[in-house]
Structure 1
Amino acid sequence: MTTRRKFLKTAGVGVAAAPLAAPALAQNTITWRLQTYAGPSLAAHVIDPAIAMFNQIAGDRMQIELFYSDQIVPTGELFRAMQKGTIDAVQSDDDSMASPTELTVFGGYFPFASRYSLDVPVLFNQWGLNEIWDEEYAKVGVKHISAGAWDPCHFATKDPINSLEDLKGKRVFTFPTAGRFLSQFGVVPVSLPWEDIEVAVQTGELDGVAWSGITEDYTVGWADVTNYFLTNNISGAWAGHFFANMDRWNELPEDLQTLFRACCDQSHYYRQWWYWGGEANLRVNGTKMQLTTIPDEEWATVEQAAVKFWDEIAAESELKAKVVDIFKRYNAEMQKAGRPYRYG
């Protein structure tokens, strides 16, 4: 499969070297470069449709050039590159892009903060997280545009996981905060470039991944190199965002800002149903991985550890305590609401 990375390596004049070289566009066309955390196969679902929609509607007024994981800068440098203006916009979670804000610890998969994908937009749009994220990123020259849900976080491994004991010593590719939490159960977090993960599992450098749900495992090829999928998850939904360099955002006319927001919302909506349906379908009909489960009574110890982890994070600062308090109050309300919001 021809990827953008291969194109950039082989083309005489790469897109990265000449992003404005688009003869069909008018000379006054606004051009942005947006880099996502996702590789090409995943980006086909999590962002390609939204950017294609934006470019079609905006036409000669504005075009966004999309770059995939690590194409301009490594994912861990995305924030700094956006802040400096090397990249105009980013799709990522706070954790992966190494945000310098105190919110970084809540990016990606904050253990058990959500149980279902709808929890994420509700927390941001109805429980005050949007205002917190907007304020904190404005302080560092970045526009927080919107937040949305991705898939839940599960283990996909070469060897079966049927108990917490089976997690011990497993070298796993995961998010920084998730890795910090899981290390107490003997998991060894490993940080590698996203595009190297499949080979690292094949060569034995990794024992598995705790980065996604089963939809993503199949989509990006990890289901081809892992044998087992653990049905217990440490978070019901990944929280990801669209960000932009504040100066570049403020330069946009209001209608183009609105269009960009609308396309981001369309992206969130697409992922909402794509992941939700895919998770169920591949558990039932998928043929590449065998499902395993840690018994509920044993997994309850992991959930209890998450509550202690929340308190540890809350003790680090007033802002972190404010976010943790929202998570606690939200989950308490969902528990009281009962089915279908929460079970048990």
Structure 2
Amino acid sequence: MTTRRTFIKGAALAAPAAALATPAIAQSKIKWRMQTYAGSALGEHVIKPAIDTFNQIAGDQMEIELFYADQLVPTGELFQALQRGTIDAVQSDDDSMASPTEVTVFGGYFPFGSRYSLDVPVLFNQYGLKEIWDEEYAAVGVKHISAGAWDPCHFATKEPINSLADLKGKRIFTFPTAGRFLSQFGVVPVTLPWEDIETAVQTGELDGIAWSGITEDYTVGWADVTNYFLTNNISGAWIGHFFANMDRWNELPDNLKQMLTVCMEQSHYYRQWWYWGGEANLRVNGDKLKLTTIPDAEWETVEEAAVKFWDEIASESPTKAKVVEIFRKYNADMRKAGRPYRYG
């Protein structure tokens, strides 16, 4: 007969085996919602490949559900939704998502702040902009993950632009800061949902767009409703970012933080060559938009106006002054470096 002592002894010996046989409690999969500033056609290039890659690598650990422009909230409310945690992550420029920080005015297209797309990562990683952005967003409960470059800012219009006078009275869809700058030349900035732009040009509500380079014009359908592309630009690259709700970010294990950052950095590299090659190819081989150019001597007045605009921005706060000074130093260094960094 089994005594109490032998029963206890047997149970103790069996316990380790039983523990090994008991399945571990499955860890729940982390799920995030991310919204981008871009519509679905553009999103296929500027964000979807990165998120698809992340989801594949993350496997059972984490999944990001991607939403395009205005699908969850209007683009102008992205920051508020991110800060509240309604959305876990965002891809946007500061300007479009109405960020309440001191650096918002520099997001998107800061007039003549850059000439080439490579200027943006150098400004952030070697000239100190990253530290400023990180600090500004941490103060409002948002994690600034990464900054990168998109395309330059050109006009795509229904009527040709051959001089500054041709800009007067034109109703143009553009970014807030770009619109603020361009208004001195008679441009009438218009804000509309991203997905409504093509129709607004067709109906005459808009005369044109100053939102992108020629690659986006062809990719998203704007080249189908406009006729002309102005080769002069007010900025060589759009400055965009990836952001996350700070609490959601802090909850991630370190390996997922690193994985997410790597995938976003890879997306910056993709855009470097996709836009750079696309801009040249469509200028040469595109068959939808006729190219026009404002003469250099006349366009210099726009560049001179940008210098005054920088002074105006710098006078608004110490942080803005610090950022403007970085732009000044960087561009001065590039001019001193000469070709191929700056010329002309």
Amino acid at match of 2:83: Q
Q: Distance in 2 between matches of 1:335 and 1:308?
A: 19
Amino acid at match of 2:54: F
Q: Distance in 1 between matches of 2:102 and 2:257?
A: 26
Tell me the alpha carbon deviations over residues 280-299 of structure 1, each in whole angstroms, 9 at most, x when there is no partner: 00000000000000000000
Q: Distance in 1 between matches of 2:33 and 2:265?
A: 19
Amino acid at match of 2:307: V
Specify the SS of the correspondent of 1:60.
Answer: coil
- CA RMSD in angstroms comes to 0.6
Amino acid at match of 1:50: A
Shift of 1:257: 0.1
Name the residue aligned to 1:294: 294
TM-score, normalised with respect to structure 2 = 0.92
Tell me the alpha carbon deviations over residues 112-149 of structure 1, each in whole angstroms, 9 at most, x when there is no partner: 00000000000000000000000000000000000000
Tell me the alpha carbon deviations over residues 77-103 of structure 1, each in whole angstroms, 9 at most, x when there is no partner: 000000000000000000000000011
Specify the SS of the correspondent of 1:131.
Answer: helix
Name the residue aligned to 1:190: 190
Name the residue aligned to 1:238: 238
Amino acid at match of 2:206: L
Q: Distance in 2 between matches of 1:262 and 1:111?
A: 29
Name the residue aligned to 2:263: 263
Specify the SS of the correspondent of 1:332.
Answer: helix
Shift of 1:27: 6.7
Name the residue aligned to 1:61: 61
Name the residue aligned to 1:104: 104
Q: Distance in 2 between matches of 1:256 and 1:317?
A: 36
Amino acid at match of 2:86: T
Name the residue aligned to 1:328: 328
Name the residue aligned to 2:128: 128
Name the residue aligned to 1:152: 152
Name the residue aligned to 1:280: 280
Q: Distance in 2 between matches of 1:286 and 1:147?
A: 30
Amino acid at match of 1:187: V
2:168 is the counterpart of 1:180: no
Name the residue aligned to 1:214: 214
Listed as ranges, the gaps of 5+ residues in structure 1 are 1-25
Tell me the alpha carbon deviations over residues 22-41 of structure 1, each in whole angstroms, 9 at most, x when there is no partner: xxxx7700000000000000
Name the residue aligned to 1:85: 85
Q: Distance in 2 between matches of 1:319 and 1:207?
A: 36
Name the residue aligned to 2:248: 248
Name the residue aligned to 2:167: 167
Specify the SS of the correspondent of 2:144.
Answer: strand
Q: Distance in 1 between matches of 2:289 and 2:54?
A: 37
Name the residue aligned to 1:3: none
Amino acid at match of 2:231: T
Q: Distance in 2 between matches of 1:317 and 1:37?
A: 27
Amino acid at match of 2:213: G
Specify the SS of the correspondent of 1:145.
Answer: strand
Specify the SS of the correspondent of 2:234.
Answer: strand
Name the residue aligned to 1:4: none
Name the residue aligned to 1:227: 227
Q: Distance in 1 between matches of 2:166 and 2:240?
A: 30
Q: Distance in 2 between matches of 1:288 and 1:331?
A: 34
Tell me the alpha carbon deviations over residues 270-323 of structure 1, each in whole angstroms, 9 at most, x when there is no partner: 101000000000000000000000000000000000000000000000000000
- Which structure: larger Rg? 2
Q: Distance in 2 between matches of 1:102 and 1:199?
A: 34
TM-score, normalised with respect to structure 1 = 0.92
Specify the SS of the correspondent of 1:211.
Answer: strand
Tell me the alpha carbon deviations over residues 171-227 of structure 1, each in whole angstroms, 9 at most, x when there is no partner: 000000000000000000000000000000000000000000000000000000000
Q: Distance in 1 between matches of 2:272 and 2:251?
A: 31
Paired positions, count: 319
Q: Distance in 1 between matches of 2:330 and 2:81?
A: 34
Q: Where has structure 1 moved over 4 Å in runs of 4 or more?
A: none
Specify the SS of the correspondent of 1:321.
Answer: helix
Q: Distance in 2 between matches of 1:322 and 1:286?
A: 41
